[in-house]
Amino acid sequence: MPLEDKFSRRQIDSYYESEARINIWEGSVRSGKTYISLWRFIKYVQNGPQGEYLIISRTYDTFKRNLLPTICEIVDANQKWFSGKRELHLFGKIVHVVGCSDERAESKIRGLTSSGAYVDEITIIPYSVWQMLISRCLMGGAKIFGTTNPDSPFHWLKKEFLENNPDVKSWQFTLDDNPELTNEEREYLKRQYKGIWYQRYIEGLWVQAEGAIYDSFDDRLHVLDYPLSRAEHYIVGVDYGTSNPCCFLLIGINRNKYPNVWVEDEYYYDSSKHQRQKTDAEYASDFKKFIEGKSVSAIYIDPSAVSFRLELQKQGVQGLIEAQNEVDDGIRLVSNMLNNGTFKICRNCSNLIKEIQSYVWDPKAQQRGVDKPLKQNDHACDALRYSLFSHFFNKNSNSRSAADIERDYREAMGLGGQLPAPFQETNYFYPA
């Protein structure tokens, strides 16, 4: 079969051109970067020197989900795979699989002189792991192959490796470079993202996160006068503060009715406005009133609010869960849910609505290549992030790629591979 029937032009070119010491496929989500780079890496293992090879992924789990199926497609089935030892045996060579969220990752890499390495989603692995890998590989003349989605233009990968680095060759992929993507999938992906996420994940650009974080937020699209359906159950997000405001959000969930998730009520106490601080016991009794009569399945609390959590426990509140504070993943999830129309806010939650509009990126952090919200008036936004992210991703708090978030959210909502028809039109309430 001619290569052109199986791969796109850019995939073929990058396959043949990737002879640099560090080869990086960058660009849009689902543009075929991982696919072609794995073909290339496996070819390299086949022809490369004897010795040990490495595949680095965020976690072992992401390796199994994102990389292993393609590897199995490429190499024939009688190649041996030892999952217990986290090794692949390919062409008589050992390929170690290392999850870099594992604390042993660095020492594991330090102990090897690797003949070659593959890294998926480079921007979300720790800088120290990447540095260690480079020193171990380049010493012995080995090659590195990897993929990434764009991030901040100040990210270390961009500044130190993708710009003016003679050891690096890179290719920019867009959705059109994946020959398998159907028009429907392409259109669906385009609707998922807005603002900087659109520029990064669809257009493949390294753009700065500046200005409003939820820049697609629009009163006409995202605010409801009242809930459109009955909640199957509720979850609650808590951001605790004594001198700072304290906020609880009551979030309704209905997996079968649009919109699937909505904030129905808020509690917001700003001691500086009332010129009086409340005690934990007072907050706890306010909290009980707030959720009275609602079927609440989980309460996600600010991980630093230890005293308040104990007080709630003492007062017999059930279902308390320490929230996961994965800031950027949480923000990406909330943005996706706003963009795909599955998430709304009721108009009575005026503090949350106000905060969402004034929630902005921290320009100083951005200069360091980090996407981080500015710490100001972010209490309701924190409560929202805690509860949604923890609820949908409770199993595992490791950083996730954009594609992971999108897929896991759909799975958690029982929506399968695609959103069901009524949800596919983004924000169909939008006035023409």
Ligand X SMILES: Nc1ncnc2c1ncn2[C@@H]1O[C@H](COP(=O)(O)OP(=O)(O)O)[C@@H](O)[C@H]1O
Q: Which amino acid is at 18?
A: S
User: Residue 171 binds what, of ligand X, Mg ion, none (CB under 5 to 8 Å, by partner type)?
Assistant: none
Q: How far is the CB of 283 from Mg ion (least distance, A)?
A: 44
- How many Cα atoms sit within 13 Å of 376 on the Cβ side? 9
**Residue 179 touching ligand X (CB under 6 A):** yes
Two structure tokens written together for 277: 């601080």
- Mode of pairing for the β-strands spanning 343-346 and 143-148: unpaired
- How many Cα atoms sit within 13 Å of 158 on the Cβ side? 19
**Residue 299 touching ligand X (CB under 6 A):** no
Using the rule CB under 6 A, which residue among 33, 158, 222, 332 binds ligand X?
33
**Residue 34 touching ligand X (CB under 6 A):** yes
Asked if 90 and 118 count as a contact pair (C-beta separation under 8 A), the reply is no
Q: Token match 């806010």: residue?
A: 345
Two structure tokens written together for 432: 């023409």
**Residue 170 touching ligand X (CB under 6 A):** no
Q: Which residues bind Mg ion (CB under 5 A)?
A: 34
In sequence order, what are the beta bridge partners of 24? 146, 170
**Residue 104 touching ligand X (CB under 6 A):** no
User: Residue 29 binds what, of ligand X, Mg ion, none (CB under 5 to 8 Å, by partner type)?
Assistant: ligand X
CA distance linking residue 196 with residue 194, whole number of Å? 6
Pattern 50-79, binding to ligand X, x per CB under 6 A? --------------------x---------
Q: How far is the CB of 258 from ligand X (least distance, A)?
A: 28
Q: Which is nearer to Mg ion, 23 or 34 (CB)?
A: 34
Q: Which is nearer to ligand X, 15 or 258 (CB)?
A: 15
**Residue 6 touching ligand X (CB under 6 A):** yes
Q: How far is the CB of 408 from ligand X (least distance, A)?
A: 15
The interface region with ligand X, picked from 74-82, 175-183, 253-261, 334-342 by CB under 6 A, is: 175-183
Residue 66 DSSP one-character state:
I
Two structure tokens written together for 191: 């609707």
- For residue 408, the Cα-to-chain-centroid distance in whole angstroms is 10
The interface region with ligand X, picked from 27-35, 234-242, 260-268, 269-277 by CB under 6 A, is: 27-35
User: Residue 99 binds what, of ligand X, Mg ion, none (CB under 5 to 8 Å, by partner type)?
Assistant: none
- From the number of C-beta atoms within 10 Å of its C-beta (0-12, 13-18, 19+), residue 185 rates as middle
Cβ count near 16 (within 10 Å)? 9
Point out which residues bind ligand X (CB under 6 A): 6-7, 11, 29-35, 70, 147, 173, 178-180, 403
